[in-house]
Structure 1
Amino acid sequence: MTHEPTARLDPNQYWEDPKGGMIPVSAIKPEHQEEDALVKGVVAKARELNVLLGTFKSHSMGEVQAFRDLIAEKYGAQKGGKKGNMTLRSFDGKLELQIAISESISFGPELEAAKALIDSCIHKWSQGANANLQVLVDDAFQVDKEGKISTGRVLGLRRHAIEDDEWLKAMDAISDAVRVTGSKTYLRLYERNPATGQRAPISLDLAAV
């Protein structure tokens, strides 16, 4: 026994609801139809802007890379930092373009050894003001709601100029524990106000416009 295929419903007559059901347009309130049209219209324009921004970033990064290659070819050295950071300015100094690369890092198992060494140091330094360092260390190794340790706080411990072999081993363990898990490239543009001399960002962020 064969079955006739189910006829496709006319999208002009039936709309799909969040549960996948097909609702006759005649049963949908006019204000809900207007809301649907509004949302779809704004999202369509947002998608167009998203594509334009992607094209703009890709084109701009290509132009910057071409300039970087030109400099390298002429002088035999890269212009910018070892991580690829770069700042370019217009001749009058009013416009500025920055390329910034931000790395995402996490910590490997060496971090546990570092914490043990630091705790040993603090136990050894239990006299006087050094007791305050325990608070800093405990705070640095606390995890957030996602169970992640603040990389900034842990790495900040390395700023303390403490001449102690055990402490220095702990700082080496922290350095060895660092794992670069990814990187993201940012394109930032600035314009200097001629009246105030202050630099202001040219924002491409909707929230900042």
Structure 2
Amino acid sequence: MNQIAEKHGCWPDAAGRLVPKELVKPIDRLRDELVRALIGQGEQIAAQIAAYKAGAFADIASFVELSLEQYGVKVGGRKGNLTLTSFDGKYKITRSVQESISFDERLQAAKELIDECIQTWTEGSRPEIRALINDAFQVDKEGKISTGRVLGLKRLEISDEKWTRAMKAIADSVRTDTSTTYIRLYQRVGDTERYEPISLDMAVL
């Protein structure tokens, strides 16, 4: 409760107005008490989960370092996806890294080179290829280009000097905006080979 409000025997409402305590309805007081109690408990649980997450990352990194030491290899920081499984195979933990990528201005060079290729191939090129390329450079509602579609062009086996330069421009234009590491817990279902996640998400529990 706001100290100034308590001093004056008032409760601040959602609009910041000070309401005399005796004018606050009993049901409103009970609601306030319930909300604050549950939020307080939730904050404690959130802090425990945050501490668990930090400790889990550190413990996994330490284990990986220990495991690789037997081969004379050192790996610093959180790197790469991996899976750790209990000896009986009942439990497993996965660490996965998801990167968000985008393209810098060099993607425009790739688009120009590809356009030149299309113009050169116009008479003999298949319409499916032209549609695929045009679709790759379309933007979504947020004005963003699909990284998956653009990078998918690199899988096309096309022997052309300009196309090769365009693919290099695409590769050079890729930049990693964010990198997020996740830890997921799994438990094997009975005697099957199927694993189900152990959720720490309150909305799932």
TM-score class, shorter-chain normalisation, is: 0.7 to 0.9
State the alpha-carbon separation in 1 of the partners of residues 7 and 38 from structure 2. Answer: 20
Q: Which amino acid aligns with 2:103?
A: F
**Number of aligned pairs?**
201
Cross-structure match for 1:51 = 47
Contact preservation (8 Å) 2:188, 2:195: yes
1:43 to partner: Cα distance = 2.0
Cross-structure match for 2:90 = 94
Structure 1 segments unaligned to the other structure (5+ residues): 1-6
Instruction: Give the alignment's Cα RMSD to 1 decimal.
Output: 2.4
State the alpha-carbon separation in 2 of the partners of residues 35 and 124 from structure 1. Answer: 72
The farther-off stretch of 64-73 and 143-152 is 143-152
The reply to whether residue 114 of structure 1 matches residue 110 of structure 2 is yes
Mapping of 1:21-40 within 5 angstroms?
A: 21-40=17-36
Contact preservation (8 Å) 1:125, 1:131: no
* 1:208 aligned counterpart, secondary structure: coil
The 1:13–1:91 alpha-carbon spacing in structure 2 relative to 1, beyond 3 Å, is: same
The 1:20–1:124 alpha-carbon spacing in structure 2 relative to 1, beyond 3 Å, is: same
TM-score by length of 1: 0.84
Cross-structure match for 2:149 = 153
* 1:52 aligned counterpart, secondary structure: helix
| Identity, % of aligned positions | 43
The reply to whether residue 144 of structure 1 matches residue 120 of structure 2 is no
TM-score by length of 2: 0.85
CA deviations on 1:65-98 (whole Å, 9 max, x unpaired) are 111111222211358xx94222111111221111
Structure 2 segments unaligned to the other structure (5+ residues): none
State the alpha-carbon separation in 2 of the partners of residues 28 and 136 from structure 1. Answer: 65
1:12 to partner: Cα distance = 8.5
State the alpha-carbon separation in 2 of the partners of residues 99 and 164 from structure 1. Answer: 40
Q: Which amino acid aligns with 1:203?
A: S
The 1:152–1:43 alpha-carbon spacing in structure 2 relative to 1, beyond 3 Å, is: farther
State the alpha-carbon separation in 2 of the partners of residues 12 and 48 from structure 1. Answer: 30
